[in-house]
Amino acid sequence: MMQPVPEFSRPIEVARVSPLGSHEKIKADAKECTALAKRLLLPAVHGVSAVLLVKPWRGGGYKVTGEVIADVEQESVISLETFRSEVRFAVERYFLSHGGGEGLGEDADIDLIADGVIDLGEVVTETLGLELDPYPRKPGETFASSEEPADERPVAKVSPFAVLKGKDKP
C-alpha cells in the first residue's frame, strides 16, 4: 500500500545533520498553498514558511524547533465572512528511530524517523493544522446576543429532590 504524498513535502536526510544541527528555511509554492488550503479546510492559504533547526537529540534522535509563519484566509464563525490574517507558531517536535523510545512512557509525543528522513514540510503542516483557531473571528468581531431584553426576574433554584420532600415516608 502506497503512502499518500504530502501537500507540502521537504524531506531532510538525518544522516546529513551535523552534531551542531542544521538550519533549514522552507517555503510553500502557490500549488502547495492551494493543496494546503484544501487539506486544512481553509478558504485560501497565501503563503507558508518556516525557519527550523534540526539537531541531534537523545542518542540517535532529532529535535526540530523553530517558527512557522502563515498567511491564511479563514471564515469567521460569527459573520461567516472570510478574513485574511498572518499567524505565527512555534514548532517543537521530537523524532527517534524505530524502537528508540523505550523508557519514555506511553504519553511521550515522539515521532518515528521513516527511512532515515524527517519531512519538515509535513511537520510544518501538522503544526499549522493543530495551532489554527478552530473558531476564528474577524478582528474586533464579537458575538452579540438577541435584541430582545432578557427577563430580569431572578429564577429560583429548585432542588431536584424537592419533589421527594413532600412525599410521606412509609
pLDDT digits (tens, 9 = 90+) for 50-72: 999 999 998 789 999 999 999 99
User: Among residues 133, 131, 95, which one has the least CA distance to residue 115?
Assistant: 95
The domain containing residue 85 runs over which residues?
11-145
Q: What total number of domains does the chain contain?
A: 1
Let me know if residue 101 belongs to a domain.
yes
Q: End-to-end CA distance of the chain, in Å?
A: 70
Helices 30-39 and 120-131 sit at what angle, rounded to 10 degrees? Answer: 50
Let me know if residue 34 belongs to a domain.
yes
Q: What is the mean pLDDT of the chain?
A: 85
Asked whether the predicted pLDDT for residue 27 surpasses 90, the reply is: yes
Report the pLDDT averaged over residues 39-46: 95
The more confidently predicted of residues 153 and 47 is 47
Asked whether the predicted pLDDT for residue 48 surpasses 60, the reply is: yes
Q: What is the pLDDT of residue 59?
A: 79
Q: Give the strand order in the sheet containing 44-57.
A: 22-27, 44-57, 61-75, 82-96, 110-112
Let me know if residue 167 belongs to a domain.
no
